[in-house]
């Protein structure tokens, strides 16, 4: 497959392994922030939202589930975004993975499906190439990125919250994309929930939001894909979205 459409083997994992080591969250509120894409103004706003909640007595935990780099293609902004994000709970997206551990032939690492226009793929590959050049000047940041996990499993409010970037098979999987739900993915969803034991799956990666709830194994389950925190998701609306 061509660069930008392939899925490196290093991205892959099994659904059964994802919640083997859940970590309990003591905070009152979770912000799950996928796809910041190097947007400092979005990060400013998210931090202000958290501060406003803390002033009301709520303890807020910020969880970044990947692709917090993208448009921060300058030395100053690259360092600023990464240093701010890495102060929080973080897992990798394909962009961050390719900045720390470039995969031969991966391009942007987006694993774009066929319905994504080739022009988008090529543009993303060019952005990645430029950003990798910037990242190479900051080996300390690359090293910190290389130590991040590909997913996290959190216990929050008595629920097992699985935080991934793509889906439950790959860091860059599109199985939780809006398009996958439109086509019908009930069988795969049931398989993933039962294999992982998750109550909630929080994802991002695909830049279109999804909110799904249903019964799997006689238990209520939820999928939330925030789309993108750092870019607009909805028609005629430039605001990003996060999962709260």
d(CA 241, CA 244): 9
Planar angle of CA 93, 7, 119, nearest 5 degrees: 85
Residue 69 lies in a domain: yes
Can you give the pTM of this predicted structure? 0.94
Residue 67 lies in a domain: yes
Residue 173 lies in a domain: yes
In terms of pLDDT, which residue wins out, 161 or 117? 161
Residue 9: per-residue pLDDT: 86
Q: How do strand 89-91 and strand 159-163 relate by DSSP bridges? A: unpaired
Percent of the chain's residues with pLDDT above 90: 87
Residue 153: per-residue pLDDT: 99
Residue 75 lies in a domain: yes
Residue 117 lies in a domain: yes
Determine the structural domain holding residue 54 and report its residue range. Answer: 9-225
Residue 35 lies in a domain: yes
Q: What is the pLDDT of residues 185-228, one digit of tens each?
A: 999 999 999 999 999 999 999 999 999 999 999 999 999 999 99
Q: Residue 198 sits in a domain of what CATH number?
A: 3.60.21.10
Residue 105 lies in a domain: yes
Residue 192 lies in a domain: yes
Rounded average pLDDT over 32-43: 98
pLDDT class for 2, splitting at 50, 70, 90?
confident
Residue 109: per-residue pLDDT: 85
Domain count, the chain: 1
Give the max Cα distance, the chain: 52
Residue 175: per-residue pLDDT: 96
């Amino acid at each position: 497959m061509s660069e930008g459409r392939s899925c490196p083997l290093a991205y892959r994992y099994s659904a059964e392994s994802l919640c083997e080591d859940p970590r309990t969250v003591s905070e009152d509120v979770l912000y799950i922030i996928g796809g910041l894409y190097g947007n400092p103004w979005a990060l400013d706003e998210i931090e202000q939202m958290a501060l406003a909640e803390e002033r009301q007595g709520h303890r807020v935990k910020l969880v970044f589930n990947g692709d917090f780099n993208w448009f921060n293609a300058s030395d100053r902004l690259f360092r600023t975004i990464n240093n701010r994000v890495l102060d929080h709970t973080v897992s990798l997206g394909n962009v961050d993975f390719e900045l720390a551990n470039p995969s031969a032939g991966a391009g942007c690492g987006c694993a774009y499906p066929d319905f994504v226009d080739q022009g988008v793929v090529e543009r993303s590959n060019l952005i990645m190439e430029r950003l990798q050049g910037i990242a190479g000047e900051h080996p300390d940041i690359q090293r910190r990125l290389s130590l991040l996990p590909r997913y996290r499993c959190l216990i929050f409010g008595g629920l097992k919250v699985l935080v991934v970037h793509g889906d439950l098979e790959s860091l860059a999987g599109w199985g939780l994309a809006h398009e996958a739900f439109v086509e019908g993915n009930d069988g795969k969803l049931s398989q993933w929930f039962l294999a992982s034991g998750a109550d909630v799956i929080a994802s991002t990666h695909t830049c279109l939001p999804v909110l799904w709830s249903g019964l799997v194994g006689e238990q209520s389950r939820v999928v939330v894909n925030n789309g993108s925190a750092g870019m607009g998701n909805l028609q005629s609306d430039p605001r990003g979205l996060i999962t709260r």
